[in-house]
Copies of this chain bind each other. A is one copy, B any other.
Amino acid sequence: MENDNINDEAKNLTVSDDISKKVKELENRIAALEKKDDHLTMVLFSGDFDKAMAAFIIANGGIAMDMKVTIFATFWGLDVLKKSSFDTAGRGFLEKMVLAMRPKGSGKLGTSKMNFGGIGPKLFKFMMKRKNIEQLESLINMAQEYGVRIIACQMTVDLMGLKLSDLIDGIESGGVGAFLASSSHSNTTLFI
């Protein structure tokens, strides 16, 4: 009987031990799922001043809430990240033409509504200053300083005849896979 008793004990311990391990494993998987609450991934497709404002206000809001923020900039969204000047010597004719027609950087963007040939953004900047709202350039700087990860879509960088060095510093380049790897672990995903 003592023997039986020892066997029982062994059995119980084994069962408990297996379950404990399993429960620990499940807890880790739950923690990984919960972490998505704190991840925010945005596609910045638009190069409109107002949409870029929205994207970077949300990004900085995320940072303020301790979230991990990733911005995947593609197509016209690259306009937002351009340096205010860069040399296009040595690029093809079409690339030069497209680059010449697109705004260079966050200071030159038009608005999606009420642009009025460029007066719209100036008006909004003036109104924003009066209301003590951070300007787009400051929002981008803050985002980068506080660790927002900005990925420039390599395919559209190539397509637009851009080089990574034409964009402000601290931008990674990556493909749609980099976006999806981030978005599939983010609870908040937006296409702006």
Are A155 and B57 in contact (CB-based, < 8 A)? yes
Identical copies of this chain, number: 3
Task: State in angstroms the CA–CA spacing of A15 and B76 once bound together.
Answer: 59
Are B184 and A37 in contact (CB-based, < 8 A)? yes
Q: Is the interface of A mostly helix, strand, loop or mixed?
A: helix
A96 at the interface (CB under 8 A from B): no
Interface size on A, residues (CB 8 A): 78
A137 at the interface (CB under 8 A from B): no
A168 at the interface (CB under 8 A from B): no
Are B128 and A159 in contact (CB-based, < 8 A)? yes
A113 nearest CB across to chain B (Å):
6
A132 nearest CB across to chain B (Å):
10
Are A177 and B65 in contact (CB-based, < 8 A)? yes
